[in-house]
Amino acid sequence: MSDDAELRAMLEVLASRPPPFDIAAYCFPEQLAFIQDPARFKAADCSRRAGKTVGIAADLLDTAQRHPNMACLYITLSRLNAKRILWRDLTSINSLYGLGGKEHATELTMTMPNGHIIYLSGAKDKSEVEKYRGFPLKKVYIDEAQSFRSYLRELVDDVLAKSLYDFNGSLALTGTPPPIPVGFFHECVHSDKWSRHSWNMMANPHLKLKSGREPMELILEDCARMGVSIDDPAIQRECFGRWTVDTNSLVFRWSDLNHFDDLPTGSSWSYVIGVDLGYSDADAIAVLAWSEASPSVYLVHESVKRKQGVTELAAELGKLVQQYDPLALVMDTGGLGKKIAEEMVARYSLPIKPAQKAEKYAHIELVNDALRTKRLFARRDSAFAQDSMLLEWDRDKSSGDKLVVSDAFHSDICDAVLYAYRAALGWLHTPVIPKPKLGSAEWLKAQVAEHEAAIIRQLEQRDQFDPALADDPDPQWRWQA
């Protein structure tokens, strides 16, 4: 082979090789500042489309290349969300730059040639916290942190923080401000013990490159479509990453005014049980209580369990029926729920009735009215209260009177409470009108009115009452026997 031919062959080989992966060149400045921050605990509160997820994928691969035989972990609400959000970016970078990571789509793992493993996983509820104990980790990302309930604190402080000891690892929380500025993510973002990074879609150069339009132009067009101004709280949160109070985005309107510690004493209580069936999601049970003494309804028991069988669910419901002797046990019988309900009625003699699911959104408003007027109460540490601050309307898919619940966060207990509240009878309460004290001016006035009414009834019966006398300030018939 001639020298020229050999040179051409070498150039062709070099040209066919993927470019080296340089994270500094791959990420834009705001991404890079967050990724390269040496703080062991850091948080990024960003708008949507800010590019944080791509930055996370790039950092996981860069960390894996530089630290052989270690492990990184990415966690969001569920494995399905982890696959939907991050897996595509992770595999794209691996393929584009020829990093050699062995992809396992079922396990959601990527094993690099140097032995480093990247894990993608989910932690939907408190029961999933324990599975991360014993993991020696170099780096952890918890994404969509705003959608986690209060168990996020335990996951971070009690479990994952200790898993970082082996390799002096780091942990980062990332997310978008939620409708209500509360929770562990909010605390971390505003804590001087966490390194904070904030940027929004305006900083993401890829958004303009892909859309061919300026981000602000897209935002203003969205505002016009929805009939809101740029100052709308949801626009401020989702497009600019700013912390605002945005109760209009919430499906349910629980607040601290709806908290209770103990049921009022001196009342005879009635109960109803609501059940929302799930398997991939969870079975949720809500027990509501009310009495004739008040129109208030109280969430006195709740249970949310994943992947349990019919036998386990029936056993739990049987115990609750025995404990509360409910006036009704209502269950979502849609789809396979009907067969499950019939099976439990036949085998376990449970008094199950189908939950009313028609006009769901009208009944959500009934529940919200009860929350606003302080007629529905739940403890602030309840799953219902926590989910109420996370469950949002999807404003992109909703239009006019057609409302769509966002799939960014799913609540099972909220549906169980909704079914139970529709069957509760707290609204039948009739307030007792107190009688005036004997001998008081109010008592004397009531006595005169009662006697006048009796005389009028007598005269009407005798056809002796002349309606023309009704305006007479002192008609003679008033004093006649």
- For the cut 90, the answer to whether the pLDDT of residue 93 exceeds it is yes
Give residue 432's pLDDT band: very low, low, confident or very high (50, 70, 90): low
Distance CA 191, CA 172 (A): 13
SS3 of 171, please?
Answer: strand
Q: How far apart are CA 205 and CA 180, in angstroms?
A: 29
Beta strands in 88-194 (DSSP E): 102-104, 109-111, 117-122, 139-142, 170-175
Task: Give one word for 307, left, alpha or beta, with left for phi > 0 and alpha for psi -120 to 50.
Answer: left
Using alpha carbons, select from 204, 199, 194 the residue that is nearest to residue 176: 199
Q: Is the pLDDT of residue 281 over 60?
A: yes
Tell me the C-alpha distance between 110 and 122, whole Å: 16
Alpha-carbon gap, residue 319 to 237, rounded angstroms: 44
**Nearest-angstrom CA–CA distance, 344 and 379:** 30
| Band of pLDDT at residue 82, cut at 50, 70 and 90 | very high
CB 299 within 8 A of CB 377: yes
pLDDT of 455: 74
pLDDT at 433: 60
273 or 349, which is more confident: 273
Which among 55, 69, 61, 72 has a CA at the least distance from the CA of 21?
Answer: 61
Provide the pLDDT confidence category of residue 480 given band limits of 50, 70 and 90. Answer: very low
> Is the separation of the CB atoms in 268 and 291 below 8 Å?
yes
Contacts of 237 (CB under 8 A, 6+ apart): 47, 176, 177, 178, 179, 243, 244, 246, 249
Structure tokens at 124: 């939907």
**Domains identified in the chain and CATH numbers:** 12-240 (3.40.50.300), 256-428 (3.30.420.240), 441-478 (no CATH)
Residue with tokens 């595509």, as numbered in its chain: 88
Q: What is the mean pLDDT of the chain?
A: 86
32, 43, 455, 472 from 458: Cα distances, Å: 92, 81, 5, 19
For residue 232, the SS3 value is: coil
Instruction: Evaluate whether 44 touches 52 at the Cβ level (below 8 Å).
Output: yes
| Tens digits of residue pLDDT in 202-261 | 999 999 999 999 999 999 998 998 889 999 999 999 999 999 999 889 999 999 999 999
| pLDDT band per the 50, 70, 90 thresholds, residue 7 | low
Arithmetic mean of pLDDT, 104-108: 94
Residue of 84, 82, 92, 30 lying closest to 58 (CA atoms): 92
Q: What's the confidence (pLDDT) of residue 8?
A: 64
Phi, psi of 84 (to 5 degrees): -70, -40
200: amino acid identity, one letter:
N
Least confident range from 133-142, 199-208, 340-349, 376-385: namely: 340-349
- Name the β-bridge partners of 310: none
Q: What are the strands of the beta sheet with 41-46, ordered from one edge?
A: 102-104, 109-111, 117-122, 71-76, 139-142, 170-175, 41-46, 195-199
* Across 147-151, 274-278, 426-430, least confident range: 426-430
Question: For 142, phi and psi rounded to 5 degrees?
Answer: -115, 110
Percent share of the chain, pLDDT over 70: 87
Q: What is the pLDDT of residues 48-69, one digit of tens each?
A: 999 999 999 999 999 999 999 9
What's the rounded Cα separation, in Å, for the pair 391 and 367?
A: 14
Whole-structure pTM value: 0.77
Per the structure block, which two tokens stand in for 241? 């990453």
pLDDT reported for residue 478: 46
Q: pLDDT tens digit string along 406-430?
A: 887 888 899 999 999 988 876 555 5
**Section 437-461 average pLDDT:** 74
Question: Are residues 337 and 355 in contact, defined by beta-carbon separation less than 8 angstroms?
Answer: no
Token pair 């396979």: residue? 336
Residues 278 and 159: their CA atoms lie apart, in Å, by 28
Cβ neighbours around 10 below 10 Å, total = 10
For the chain, the C-alpha Rg in angstroms (whole number) is 32
- Cα 89 to Cα 83: distance, rounded to the nearest angstrom: 10
Q: Does the CA dihedral 448-449-452-457 come out positive or negative?
A: negative
pLDDT, residue 409, reads 84
pLDDT computed for residue 278 by the predictor: 77
* Better pLDDT: 393 or 112: 112
Residue 444's pLDDT is 74
DSSP string, 287-346: EEEEETT-S-EEEEEEEEESS--HHHHHHHHHHHHHHH--SEEEE--TTTHHHHHHHHHH
Sheet of strand 283-291, all strands in order from the earlier edge strand to the far edge: 352-354, 328-331, 269-276, 283-291, 297-305, 376-377
- pLDDT higher than 90, residue 398: no
Judged by DSSP in three states, 68 sits in: coil
